[in-house]
Amino acid sequence: EVQLVESGGGLVQPGGSLRLSCATSGFTFSSYAMTWVRQAPGKGLEWISAISGGSSATYLADSVKGRFTISRDNSKNTLYLQINTLRAEDTAVYYCAKTYGSGRGGYYYYMDVWGKGTTVTVSS
């Protein structure tokens, strides 16, 4: 069974930092691109970052560029999101999600398995 388990969220002051982790199991981690999606309280879904299977390509939403960094350790089957200079508007549930797979054209960025999420609250 494919499983994704996020950790690392918490209450942090504005300007602070956190490192989110997503431990995975049940699939060949290095073969799949991975993403982070967040959801502010009562709001919709916001994609924030993606990374290819071998880490050769990374993508970030403009709203987090320069503050967030995505990475992965394929030897540990774990995805990371380093989040710096936190702002109140970063308060959200952060989900990691596995993407559907790949084909001739590259990765298919549909998110077919999601973790339960980890909550980040930015407040003084």
Partner 1 sequence: DIQMTQSPSSVSASVGDRVTIMCRASQGIGTWLAWYQQKPGKAPNLLIYAASSLQRGVPSRFSGRGSGTDFTLTITSLQPEDVAIYFCQQAKSFPLTFGGGTKVELK
Q: Give residues in contact with partner 1 (CB under 8 A).
A: 35, 37, 44-47, 50, 59, 61-62, 95, 100, 108-117
Closest CA to 51 of 84, 20, 79: 79
Closer residue to partner 1 (CB): 16 or 67: 67
Question: In angstroms, what is the minimal distance from the CB of 107 to partner 1?
Answer: 9
Question: In angstroms, what is the minimal distance from the CB of 92 to partner 1?
Answer: 13
Closest CA to 70 of 41, 102, 47: 47
For the chain, the 3-state helix, strand and coil shares in percent, each to the nearest 5, are 5, 55, 40
Question: In angstroms, what is the minimal distance from the CB of 13 to partner 1?
Answer: 27
